[in-house]
Amino acid sequence: MGVTIRDVAKAAGVSATTVSRVFNHSELVTERTQERVRTVAQRMGYLPNATAQSLSHGRTQVIGVILPAPHGEFFSEIIRGIDEVTQAADHFLLISSSHYSLSDNKAALRALRGRVDGLLVMTTHVDAQQELLEDLAVDVPVVFINSPVGNASCNAFEIQNQDGAYAATTHLIERGHERIGIIVGPPDSHDVRERVAGYRAALTEAGRDPDAQPIIAGDFTQASGFAAGREILSLDPMPDAFFACNDYMAIGAMAALQKAGVRIPDDMGIAGFDDIPSARYNTPSLTTVRVPVYDLGRQSAERLMALLQADGSPEPARRMLPSELVVRSST
């Protein structure tokens, strides 16, 4: 049996309550007594119970993070930004995946209740925020990341999806491409809807009919992009350019096209979205829309930590992070 708080109290000549106060950083114990208790505890190998400590001061020192997927360069950069902020604030991360499912998102929130001090949630589902909050009666601060802003009382940090897609499509038009297709992602995704809206707006402004352009389904993965590339090869006529709603699908499609002998950008121009690190190292390097993914995670976490330290109920914060077109060899 390990050393208990009563063992430390007896050896230090104090009460168990005093030992508890020492390890909960109470100001009710003199510095001299604190030093004596800590010295005795260290000599005896006593470790305070983290769960009991969290119950005593109402904090777990844990931040819950719910993302659509736990892997990939995009989500890794978000986690990196979050982790740097929370580590500096002596908090740790408990990460869960919703697998792009609203029901899994709700299940993850239920599982995290009572175990975290605050939540950072990314949901791809349009207008899902209010439903999630009302359904689960979340009683800790919540910051939504790159999710549809459907409630004025929510703290939400987003990226310029529509503007970025508009810029990428306009670039393809200005390069002289006539038939510009699109590879879309999950149909209920907020990101996809915003990026498709930007793509359609650019075509309409240029006098093109968006509905006359090829639309290829994908699911944000590189494998779905490869399948989309093979589908593009079967089109007659083939597009002379396409915009993919994320870089993974653009890179996958590019591989399928190149395998069939299509020269990029000579035969077909390709643009993506996100500017994941591998986009610049692809052959050819990928023209894409750069979004500040690391900053998205960092600023969202900074807001959550500010909410945890605030007195009362601060005004909700909404922030739109800019996107930027990065032109590379694929166009």
Domain total in the chain:
3
262 plus 200 within the same structural domain: yes
CATH number of the domain that residue 68 is part of: 3.40.50.2300
149 plus 196 within the same structural domain: no
Question: What pLDDT is attached to residue 56?
Answer: 47
Question: What pLDDT is attached to residue 28?
Answer: 77
Report yes or no on 326 lying in a domain.
Answer: no
Question: Residues 29-44: pLDDT tens digits?
Answer: 888 888 898 899 888 8
Mean pLDDT within 71-95 = 91
What is the sign of the dihedral through the CA atoms of 139, 141, 144 and 149? positive
Confidence of residue 20 (pLDDT cuts 50, 70, 90): confident
Given a contact cutoff of 8 angstroms between Cβ atoms, the answer to whether 253 and 270 are in contact is: yes
Mean pLDDT within 210-223 = 95
| Centroid of chain to Cα 231 | 30
Report yes or no on 329 lying in a domain.
Answer: no
Residue 252 CB-density burial (10 A; 0-12 exposed, 13-18 middle, 19+ buried):
buried
143 plus 249 within the same structural domain: no
Query: Which of 17, 37, 57 finishes a domain?
Result: 57
Both tokens of 76, joined, read: 């890794």
Percentage of residues in the chain with pLDDT exceeding 90?
54
Report yes or no on 328 lying in a domain.
Answer: no
Least confident range from 122-126, 233-237, 249-253: namely 122-126
Question: Residues 115-154: pLDDT tens digits?
Answer: 888 999 887 765 555 566 655 445 688 898 988 766 667 8
As a whole number of Å, the end-to-end CA separation of the chain is 68
CATH number of the domain that residue 35 is part of: 1.10.260.40
Q: Which residues of 195-216 are buried (b: 16+ CB within 10 A; e: fewer)?
A: bbebbbbbbeeeebebeebbeb
Half-sphere exposure of 28 (CA within 13 A, CB side): 9
Average pLDDT value for the chain = 87
140 plus 286 within the same structural domain: no
Question: Residues 162-178: pLDDT tens digits?
Answer: 999 999 999 999 999 99
150 plus 230 within the same structural domain: no
Helix (H, G, I), strand (E, B) or coil at 287: strand
Q: What does the alpha-carbon distance between residue 39 and residue 293 come to, in Å, rounded to a whole number?
A: 45
Q: What is the CA radius of gyration of the chain?
A: 26
Report yes or no on 225 lying in a domain.
Answer: yes
204 plus 262 within the same structural domain: yes
178 plus 285 within the same structural domain: yes
Report yes or no on 10 lying in a domain.
Answer: yes
Residue 233 CB-density burial (10 A; 0-12 exposed, 13-18 middle, 19+ buried):
middle
Report yes or no on 330 lying in a domain.
Answer: no
209 plus 262 within the same structural domain: yes
Residue-number span of the structural domain to which 135 is assigned: 62-158+293-321
Question: Residues 252-300: pLDDT tens digits?
Answer: 999 999 999 999 999 999 999 999 989 999 999 999 999 999 999 999 9
Question: What pLDDT is attached to residue 204?
Answer: 98
Question: What pLDDT is attached to residue 104?
Answer: 79
Report yes or no on 222 lying in a domain.
Answer: yes
Q: What does the alpha-carbon distance between residue 300 and residue 317 come to, in Å, rounded to a whole number?
A: 10
263 plus 305 within the same structural domain: no
Report yes or no on 247 lying in a domain.
Answer: yes
Question: What pLDDT is attached to residue 138?
Answer: 56
167 plus 214 within the same structural domain: yes
Q: Which of 161, 330, 165 is nearest to 250 (CA)?
A: 330
234 plus 190 within the same structural domain: yes
Question: What pLDDT is attached to residue 55?
Answer: 45
131 plus 218 within the same structural domain: no
Confidence of residue 109 (pLDDT cuts 50, 70, 90): confident
More confident residue, 97 or 192: 192
